[in-house]
Structure 1
Amino acid sequence: MPVLIGSYADQYSTYDDDFEPLAPPVRTPAPSFLAVGSTGIRYAVAELEGGQVSAFTPGGELINTLPTGGGSPCHVVVAGDRLLVANYAAGSVAVFALRPDGGLDRRTDLAQHAGASVVADRQEGPHAHQVTVRGSMVHVVDLGMDAIVHYRLMPEGRLEHVRTTTVQPLGSGPRHLVFHPDGRVFVANELASTVSTYTSGFELLDVKPSCLVQPVGDNFPSELALSPDGRRLYVANRGNDTITTFSVEAEGLLPIDEVSTGGTWPRHFAMLGASLCVANQHSGTVALLELDPENGVPHPARVVLEHPSPSAVIPIDR
């Protein structure tokens, strides 16, 4: 499956199944995260103080760019004919209407979060980190507020606030979440180096360390993902520079293994077939970890690319 590699090096790149470049890198400011629309249009944030989002053709030609209404946009997702962006520095969520050609039409809403939590240097205000859309519901993980904010995406492109889930314990610093097919929700907590399990109604069930090996210094979980069958949960750890594998059981998460990502600071990863593809930001490498067909545990990492400051791995469905 081809992939896009986002980065902080003012470029994103496209590679085929063998990690050979499909085209020259596309030059654009700080495309730390990307999304791909149903017609193949690429959407890239510009994670800068003056946040922007841009639309590109599959061939890398710029269609247009609009401001996101907040600083340091770090996550973007396509939802039908809408595009949603999380502005980390501003703690806000922008919604855009998309044109028939996939270009950006206009911003239809900007939902501003308000609040803080107990870690003074990281939670002095809201920091929206991830947007997840399920049907008409939008769930925004806010690291600064220690909260998951739930909205309803209205037909006209407005976000209607439904409720806010406060993460416990305070100081957890939630970063990303993923939904299990049985309804449970797993959340990677960046500041506490933990993984939380919630019911489908976002009631806390359990909290577990994100590592099996005790970190020597700080450890900050980043991305998490489920295996296609829902039996395994994978969590990336920046600090330990590992992927932890959990078995997803009816009674909760059971940690079963932790392996090196073959680089430093695994900011993001994605499942590519029967492998995990990891963006090791600080080592400037992209690594592939094949999954054992019997137990789903990643094999030792194999570096497949050298790429400046990689920050996201985005599979492209053919």
Structure 2
Amino acid sequence: MPLLIGSYADLYSTYDDDFKPLAPPVRTPAPSYLAVGPGGVRYAVGELDGGQVSAFTPGGELINTLPSGGGSPCHAAVADGRLFVANYATGSVAVFALRPDGGLDGPTDVAQHAGASINANRQEGPHAHQVTIRGTTLHAVDLGMDAIVHYRVTPDGRLEHLRTTTVQPLGSGPRHLVFHPDGRVFVANELSSTVATYTSGFELLDVKPSCLVQPVGDNLPSEIALSRDGRHLYVANRGNDTITTFSVEGGGLLPVDEVSTGGTYPRHFAVLDGALCVANQHSNTVALLELDRDSGVPHPARVVIEHPSPSAVIPVAD
């Protein structure tokens, strides 16, 4: 399937299954993350102080651009005819309606987080980092608040606060989460370099280091994802510049292996059919790591794309 590569280089790109460009890059400010909507419409955040979000046709023509409802939007998700955006700098979550042509309308709501935590350098205020939709519930991961904020999405696109899960221990700095088919939730904690396991009701079960190899300096986990069959969990580590593989067991996560991403600062990756595709931001490369069918462990990486400051790998369903 085609792949979108987001970046901090004021462009995003589209590649085919053989990692060949399908079209010239689309120029737009700081499209660090992208989401794909109905009809293949692309939605790109503009991770700027004055945040913006833009809609593009599959061919790369701009449909429209709107303010993102906050500063430095860094994540987006499409569900039920709406676009949801996490604004990192200002700690807000915005909801946009989608027009029939795929363009953006609204916002229908902007929920402003409030709070801080114990890391004075990184948690001086709210920093919304990811939005995930499950049914009619939006889960917003906030690194600055050490929290996961849960909202009900109303039929008219409003966000009703349900409750807030405070991450423990304080200072963990949650970044991204993923839901397992059995209901458990796995969270990559950026500031503590850990992976936490929660029940479906967000009760903490376990916390494990995100690395098997002790980091020499800071290590900042970024993306977290499950294998297609749910048997393995993968976490990217910026610092060690690795992917750690965990086996998902009934009793919790079992560390299996840690392998190089073939570049530096793996900000994001996607699980493809039998492989991981990793955006190594600081080495300006996208690497492919084929997965062992039995162990689930990635094989050594090979660079498949040279790309300026890649920050996201987004598969486009056929």
TM (norm. structure 2) is 1.00
Give ranges in structure 2 of 5+ residues lacking alignment: none
Instruction: Name the residue aligned to 2:214.
Output: 214
Once the two structures are superposed, residues 13-56 of structure 1 have per-residue CA deviations (whole angstroms, 9 ceiling, x without a partner) of 00000000000000000000000012100000000000000000
* 1:221 aligned counterpart, secondary structure: strand
* 1:53 aligned counterpart, secondary structure: strand
Instruction: Name the residue aligned to 2:81.
Output: 81
Shift of 1:210: 0.1
Instruction: Name the residue aligned to 1:139.
Output: 139
Q: Deviation above 6 Å: which 4+ runs of structure 1?
A: none
Question: Which residues in structure 2 correspond to 1:176-215 (within 5 Å)?
Answer: 176-215=176-215
Instruction: Name the residue aligned to 2:92.
Output: 92
> How far apart in 1 are the matches of 2:307 and 2:96?
30
Paired amino acid for 1:102: G
1:72 aligns with 2:72: yes
Q: What is the number of residues matched between the two proteins? A: 318
1:166 aligns with 2:166: yes
Instruction: Name the residue aligned to 1:2.
Output: 2
* 1:117 aligned counterpart, secondary structure: coil
> How far apart in 2 are the matches of 1:68 and 1:53?
5
Instruction: Name the residue aligned to 1:297.
Output: 297
Q: What percentage of aligned pairs have identical amino acids?
A: 83
Instruction: Name the residue aligned to 2:49.
Output: 49
Question: Which residues in structure 2 correspond to 1:121-160 (within 5 Å)?
Answer: 121-160=121-160
* 2:131 aligned counterpart, secondary structure: strand
Instruction: Name the residue aligned to 2:232.
Output: 232
Once the two structures are superposed, residues 130-174 of structure 1 have per-residue CA deviations (whole angstroms, 9 ceiling, x without a partner) of 000010000000000000000000000000000000000000000
Question: Which residues in structure 2 correspond to 1:3-42 (within 5 Å)?
Answer: 3-42=3-42
TM (norm. structure 1) is 1.00
Paired amino acid for 2:168: Q
Shift of 1:68: 1.0
Instruction: Name the residue aligned to 1:258.
Output: 258
Once the two structures are superposed, residues 201-249 of structure 1 have per-residue CA deviations (whole angstroms, 9 ceiling, x without a partner) of 0000000000000000000000010011110000000000000000000
Instruction: Name the residue aligned to 1:119.
Output: 119
> How far apart in 2 are the matches of 1:52 and 1:23?
24
Give ranges in structure 1 of 5+ residues lacking alignment: none
